[in-house]
Structure 1
């Protein structure tokens, strides 16, 4: 994904005579370094092409060419870093190629390297930079000496061309490449979230139901010992154990509801969200307008998103009322949760908003928070609509 420069060109003030700000000095440094970088890149490109193509009729030719293309990727990374620090151009790094031989032997490794568009474009960038590097370095040096008054204008024009070259030849290869990078990042979020959920479930079981059941077993053991000697004491202990069983069962039900509530499985979002709303500390109006039920995973994410948002309403908002709206628009499932509280909610601050945004982003969702100080607060979440698989196909 190509991102905007940290100091976008249109937002910079126009150059002024004899005015050299810090960004102009960075651009001058970039232009002066162009020549040595261009010479190194050109020599490397010529060697890779000459040796790789020249030896292509031998068994070592293609591996040499692939190694050269991988090296060109390194040159591209260096140039992206130089453009990022001196020109303010921030470009997403491409996904790395497999580091070793792939399954199937050397030929898949060679093929993936030979068809690598990032390596070829980095090599092309290094090849065409020599005349430009000579020109920009010479013009900048002359301007520093004899064209000082108009130097900012010259530097602005030359670096505009440099930015265009970097954006044109050194970004990730295409939309698929950018999508792979996004999915790799999203996969990390999903793994971290799943690990955190498993730790939470383990902690809840250990500290809650498990500890209570251990105490229950010990109590029943004592009651068994007293059964013949003191039946009345044994009966009281059995009554206490019966009460403990009820509490343990309720804790297990609450834990199961936190994993996946039965009402959501049996009756869908409308009933499940109404159940959440009934437990909120403020009155909540729930409106669900869906033509059917989405896929179970999407339905579950929607449920837990609303659940956490309503918990925030109860704990932090100071609201008198809230509302939940759920509807489908084209191929998206939309959720809007609003409250008339004090507002001021932020993505950080321990409210869990950032975690919700990450979870939604991991499944191609969106999360938008609008919470001015003084309220009201409105949170809009979008999820991709995926149709629920037929019951027969799930069973099979």
Structure 2
């Protein structure tokens, strides 16, 4: 199959969506598909797919821009600059199927009319949420796709009667994310304290401020937040007040992510609802107990043995963290068996099966 993956951040950022889609693209390319990736970064010599550059302006440059209908966030501003360049480089006749998780502009460019020839199948992936598929308001009325990849069972149940859907989660590289000694010294973590790790963008929905409040009563615990975003100053200020000498905020390269997990004692994620959350199987594969918000969606990923609570109740989060740390000290560290289900090889196979099914229905 001739496949195109398009997203503004490809080869420029290492965020969850970029990591997930590029991992699928790479696995499909390695197993025989003709895969092209268009993003705003630069080509890398060792990738198994063809890369085409289409520039974009970083979303951080738009953080103080007015948020208005259609341009509802700095992310949409960034996407608009990418889509304009994508339109110049995208030739629909070159592909059997195109895939993205970006709406509105990227999705619309990939669905543009074709004069003669066969239009490629358009797959939309609910990596950043399902609202384009379910909402009929404003610009969402113009959403369309030939296939919808639902990254959790809630999305699948909501959309299966309206769109051609497949339930396919995100995955992890089980060759990279595994048990290891970590390297606290290199990362600047204290050697004599228990380390609680959050891997989160510094945006309101990730609730990092609430994570700081939950760790504050734990006098011997050190909180590490790996991520950045527009709330960085608020996070620093609250940590200075509640966690003096017990807080580290940093960003790491993708190569450092396994070491980051291996250097912690417990993983904390405060989002009330994630589309999937690559961080959960990554943490499990590195042997970390999970503290997160108790939903059926998260239990579908991590199972029933993790420390899931109502994270809107701060004392409950503090207790869950204390229990998770105690459990880790009491038993040998082991990899959750569920983590291996999310190997990228398995996920890519499910994408190929869905694409094959859609193409068969189209013929």
Fold in common (TM above 0.5) = no
- The structure having more radius of gyration, on CA atoms, is 1
Higher helix share: 1
Higher strand share: 2
Higher RCO (CA < 8 A, seq sep 6+): 2
TM-score normalised over the length of structure 2: 0.22
